């Protein structure tokens, strides 16, 4: 909004010329989202506590988690609010991709909110039925994929990391492909959000990584030089990624160990949906496996654990899945598990950025 209000005044007040620069608006979108979370955080924590929206802790979880019972959850509502306000303030609102990524973020947040509401407020132990939750996720992800596909100059070719000459064109098949990326990412982040700051850390790292990808993909000369897909208008998505990272940092201030608040499914599903949609729009879909490697590792640990359990009639590969619980049960203190996972996430993000040159 500020872009539309202030940039036109740059002829009379020259300093407003800065509003044309995506870098400037990305920095301030990040700071705006951070400040909203940082300032409203204590009030939201008090409000959730007052409403008794405290985390229910399952009996079969690690012993160390039982002390977490009652921690305010559904903090994802604050994350989504700060991302949305900051994005609306700092982006070019005529950009189609901005509305698509906001739809995916808020839409997945609503699915998570329903799940949290049923579980935490209605005390329905399982929340939304798995089947219903997956159906809602599939519908929203398919609509998101179709909206991206309908963008006139959007390429339906899939970018294969490290191989610039291989990019299969999926045609309309890109819609289910995109939906799969979004659903998978959303659920992977949801599974990962099981320790204080464990999910939000890699989300911040992935947001900064895709901020770079969105910027270069939206810059014709840089995209041409790097020989990556030029996606007209994706530069504005860098501003959204800035808001995502800023909101993540603001939330981490309160979610860091020992957490004063959890994000809830409203947060984990929304953030995963956001990152998945950004990966699709910036044409770095497959690379998300690397950028979001922590989420992939955690999900694979569950798949292997459940599969092995069923095949061997009860034997386990890990002490407990997802993987973060395995290290907890091995005796690693919670902060050690969290920070080591963040370190791996940073290394994977650096490796993913190197694919811009190694192709």
Exposed, middle or buried by CB within 10 Å (0-12, 13-18, 19+), for 153? exposed
What 8-state DSSP symbol labels residue 231? -
**Which 43-62 residues touch ligand 57M, going by CB under 6 A?**
55, 57-58, 60-61
Residue 329 binds ligand 57M, judged by CB under 6 A: no
How many angstroms from the chain centroid is the CA of residue 315?
A: 33
Exposed, middle or buried by CB within 10 Å (0-12, 13-18, 19+), for 133? buried
For ligand 57M, which stretch binds (CB under 6 A), given 11-19, 189-197, 228-236, 335-343? Answer: 189-197
Pairwise CA distance, residues 81 & 69, whole Å: 25
x-or-dash string of contact with ligand 57M, 10-49, rule CB under 6 A: ----------------------------------------
Residue 259 binds ligand 57M, judged by CB under 6 A: yes
Is the Cβ–Cβ distance between 239 and 26 less than 8 Å?
Answer: yes
Pairwise CA distance, residues 105 & 274, whole Å: 5
Torsion, Cα of 101, 107, 108, 110 (10° steps): 150
Nearer to ligand 57M, 46 or 126 (CB): 126
Nearer to ligand 57M, 221 or 315 (CB): 315
Q: Which residue number places its CB atom closest to ligand 57M? A: 61
For ligand 57M, which stretch binds (CB under 6 A), given 146-154, 211-219, 273-281, 298-306? Answer: 298-306
Nearer to ligand 57M, 112 or 242 (CB): 112
Find the binder of ligand 57M among 26, 32, 105, 190 (CB under 6 A).
190
Is the Cβ–Cβ distance between 317 and 304 less than 8 Å?
Answer: yes
Find the binder of ligand 57M among 44, 148, 191, 356 (CB under 6 A).
191
Pairwise CA distance, residues 293 & 355, whole Å: 15
Nearer to ligand 57M, 74 or 208 (CB): 74
Minimum distance, C-beta of residue 78 to ligand 57M, in the bound complex (Å): 12
Is the Cβ–Cβ distance between 38 and 253 less than 8 Å?
Answer: yes
For ligand 57M, which stretch binds (CB under 6 A), given 46-54, 155-163, 172-180, 256-264? Answer: 256-264
Nearer to ligand 57M, 265 or 285 (CB): 265
Minimum distance, C-beta of residue 68 to ligand 57M, in the bound complex (Å): 5
Pairwise CA distance, residues 304 & 298, whole Å: 10
Find the binder of ligand 57M among 127, 194, 202, 246 (CB under 6 A).
194
Pairwise CA distance, residues 241 & 282, whole Å: 11
Nearer to ligand 57M, 284 or 301 (CB): 301
Residue 95 binds ligand 57M, judged by CB under 6 A: no
Find the binder of ligand 57M among 26, 32, 73, 84 (CB under 6 A).
73
Pairwise CA distance, residues 196 & 260, whole Å: 9
Q: Which ranges of 169-313 would DSSP assign to H, the alpha helix? A: 174-192, 200-217, 220-226, 235-255, 264-281, 288-291, 293-311
The residues binding ligand 57M (CB under 6 A) are 55, 57-58, 60-61, 65, 68, 73, 190-191, 193-196, 255, 259, 262-265, 268, 302, 305-306, 316, 320-322, 325
């Amino acid at each position: 909004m500020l872009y539309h209000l202030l940039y036109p005044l740059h002829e009379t007040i020259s300093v407003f010329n800065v509003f044309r620069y995506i870098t400037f608006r990305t920095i301030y979108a990040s700071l705006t989202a951070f400040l909203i979370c940082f300032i409203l955080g204590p009030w939201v924590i008090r409000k959730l506590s007052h409403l008794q929206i405290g985390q229910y802790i399952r009996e079969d979880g690690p012993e160390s988690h039982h002390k977490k019972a009652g921690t305010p959850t559904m903090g994802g509502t604050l994350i989504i609010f700060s991302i949305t306000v900051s994005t609306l303030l700092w982006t070019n609102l005529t950009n189609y991709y901005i509305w698509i990524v906001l739809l995916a973020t808020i839409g997945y947040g609503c699915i998570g909110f329903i799940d949290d509401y049923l579980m935490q407020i209605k005390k329905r132990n399982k929340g939304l039925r798995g089947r219903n939750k997956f159906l809602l996720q599939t519908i929203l992800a398919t609509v998101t994929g179709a909206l991206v596909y309908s963008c006139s100059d959007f390429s339906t070719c899939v970018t294969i990391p490290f191989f610039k000459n291989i990019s299969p064109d999926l045609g309309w098949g890109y819609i289910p492909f995109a939906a799969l990326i979004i659903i998978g990412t959303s659920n992977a982040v949801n599974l990962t959000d099981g320790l204080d700051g464990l999910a939000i850390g890699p989300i911040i790292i992935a947001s900064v990584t895709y901020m770079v990808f969105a910027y270069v993909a939206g810059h014709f000369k840089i995209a041409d030089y790097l020989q990556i897909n030029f996606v007209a208008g994706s530069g504005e998505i860098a501003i959204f990624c800035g808001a995502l990272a800023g909101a993540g940092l603001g939330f981490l201030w309160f979610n860091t160990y020992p957490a004063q608040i959890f994000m809830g499914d409203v947060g984990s599903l929304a953030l995963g949906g956001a990152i998945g949609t950004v990966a699709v729009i910036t044409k770095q879909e497959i690379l998300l496996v690397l950028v979001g490697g922590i989420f992939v590792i955690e999900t694979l640990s569950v798949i292997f654990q459940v599969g092995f359990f069923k095949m061997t009639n009860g034997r386990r590969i890990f002490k407990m899945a997802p993987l973060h619980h395995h290290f907890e049960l091995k005796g690693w203190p919670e902060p050690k598990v969290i920070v080591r996972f963040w370190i791996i996430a940073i290394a994977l993000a650096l490796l993913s950025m190197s694919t811009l040159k190694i192709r």
